[in-house]
Amino acid sequence: MFQERVNAMAGKWGKQNEEFLAKVDADKSVTKTASGLRYKILAPGSAVKPTKESTVKCRYEGKLVDGKVFDSTKTRNNEPTEFTLSRVIPAWTEGVQLIGVGGKIVLYCPAAIAYGEQGQGPIPAKSVLEFEVELVEISKAK
């Protein structure tokens, strides 16, 4: 019975994910990379961009395809979060490298380059995710 519920939920998310990505793909202002990442640069930021080994500080908001926000720095006094790009989901590692300090980007992340088959916390398995990210600071690789 439990597996039937999981399969039904995955089917629901699968259809929503497909419809969401079809809508994103129809938007001519969105670029798609070889990995499947879709992105739209809202502001390019500085000429200097981070590498995958950089430690960065970002403000962000993450949403599921139904629009539900699952994580946001706005709920934490809008304080940027610090992390090394090589230690986050592949979509972030790839996408954040496309902007400089002060830049803003929207990342549309297929499950394969997000949390995949497992999901995590409030993120269901096989979820396509949408993030709006602002790069606040780049630190040197440690």
Average pLDDT, the chain: 91
Q: How many CB atoms lie within 10 A of CB 38?
A: 22
Q: What is the pLDDT of residue 139?
A: 86
Closest to 130 in 3D by CA, of 51, 7, 23: 23
Domain count, the chain: 1
- The upper half-sphere exposure of residue 107, i.e. CA atoms within 13 Å in the direction of its Cβ, equals 30
For 22-33, how does the pLDDT look when each residue is reduced to its tens digit (9 = 90+)? 999 999 999 999
pTM score, whole prediction:
0.89
Which structural domain, as residue segments, surrounds residue 122? 2-139
Mean pLDDT of all residues in 119-124: 90
For residue 55, the domain's CATH number is 3.10.50.40
Q: What is the pLDDT of residue 62?
A: 97
